Chain A
């Protein structure tokens, strides 16, 4: 079956910044993305868990989008405005998709 090259961008960011990030993504023309809750993990500040959180300040989410390779630089520049000072991990992977017109 015919496949097409694309980029999968995964942004793990504080939940409190979620809307700001998705606004930026939409502003950069990315209308398709998925948001997943991050249950817990460990980083430079030690281990944390979503359970027992009393504030939105402490949770993390993962925003995933798949885009055409030529749109990657513009997207990353926009995303950097949000993750610059905030906790956040941005990863980019080469993927293949079936229906290129969707991305």
Chain B
């Protein structure tokens, strides 16, 4: 317990978290601080490119093993399974409609790439480098949850369903293409390629991430301020319980896969995080009847800050205890 508290304190005083808190505070104080849409998009492109490239280079440096395939399979399976658990919990804990519950559930099976990046950064800072292929696991975990959510709705309420355009948008959305593309290029060019662009993707990385988290804090804070009224107590509590449920699943599967301490912690984080980029876009197309204020505020306003401040240090400490021995 002492270790978890020490890690939490250390994490809370990192520049990443403090900038996120600054964004939250500025939003709550109704400051006019904003990031132009193009700047926010450029930062997210930079982060995806850097994390993908470094992951690819790391896989080549450490060699490809059977863990890669098994981790990808486990990630896809968990992404498809977690929405069913989330849906069951939501039906018990909240009074959300079938469509709203399924839409929220889809978000929790998918992942937040920023939470992934924040956890990777925290792990690297502690010398607990995760397996490089976890980037590919993150990418593969984006989409299956959307299919599960749509299946839940089509079975129980007859939603709009899936068409070819939507499937293409889900599988080829910009963040997945960039992440996987950079991962492959990093894998092809290896350490030599990484060395050539290290001054661009290694040194400035943490600074850009700080700015991006400042923006995320602003977005999360404004979302909470304006849409918090849509979240009742049950929904609010779900937003903090569900990450823990996902993290426990990630812990068990990560240990079975034989991942390193960093790998287990990252897998827990992936299972604990909720999407606020890919899934909301898919849900707006496939389930327009679902209320975006609920799922966006929940994933971005509750679960994201929870994971960033309390979740990540807890997952790292728990992974160290169970996978470190």
CB-CB under 8 A from B160, the residues of chain A are: 85
A80 CA to B7 CA, complexed, in Å: 55
Residue of B nearest to A85 (CB): B288
Q: Does A68 contact B (CB under 8 A)?
A: no
Tell me the smallest distance from the CB of B166 to a CB of chain A, in Å.
Answer: 10
| Chain B CB within 8 A of A3 CB | no
> Interface with B: A12-20, A27-35, A91-99, which one?
A12-20
Q: Does B216 contact A (CB under 8 A)?
A: yes
How many residue pairs link A and B with beta carbons under 8 A? The number is 63
Q: CA separation between A47 and B292, bound complex, in Å? A: 14
Among A17, A46, A54, A56, the most chain B Cβ lie within 10 Å of the Cβ of: A54
Whether B215 contacts A52 by the Cβ 8 Å rule is: yes
Contacting B219 at CB < 8 Å: which of A14, A20, A46, A54?
A: A54
Q: How far is the CA of A86 from the CA of B227 in the complex (A)?
A: 19
Q: Which residue of A lies closest to B23 (CB)?
A: A52
Specify which chain A residues have a CB less than 8 angstroms from the CB of B222 in the assembled complex.
52
- Chain A interface residue bracket vs B: 20 to 34
Contact between chains at B277 and A54 (CB < 8 Å): yes
Q: How far is the CB of B98 from chain A (nearest CB, A)?
A: 16
Q: A85-B160, A85-B288 are in contact. Are A55 and B276 (CB under 8 A)?
A: yes
Q: Mark the stretch among B34-42, B137-145, B232-240, B253-261 that contacts chain A.
A: B34-42
Whole-angstrom distance between the alpha carbons of A80 and B280 in the complex? 23
A17 and B276 alpha carbons, distance in the complex (Å): 18
The answer on a CB contact under 8 Å between A52 and B280 is: no
Whether A52 contacts B292 in the complex (CB less than 8 A), given A16-B284, A46-B227, comes out as no
CB distance from A67 to the nearest CB of B (A): 25
Is residue B285 contacting chain A, with contact meaning CB distance below 8 A?
Answer: yes
Cβ B218 vs Cβ A57 within 8 A: no
B3 within 8 A of A: no
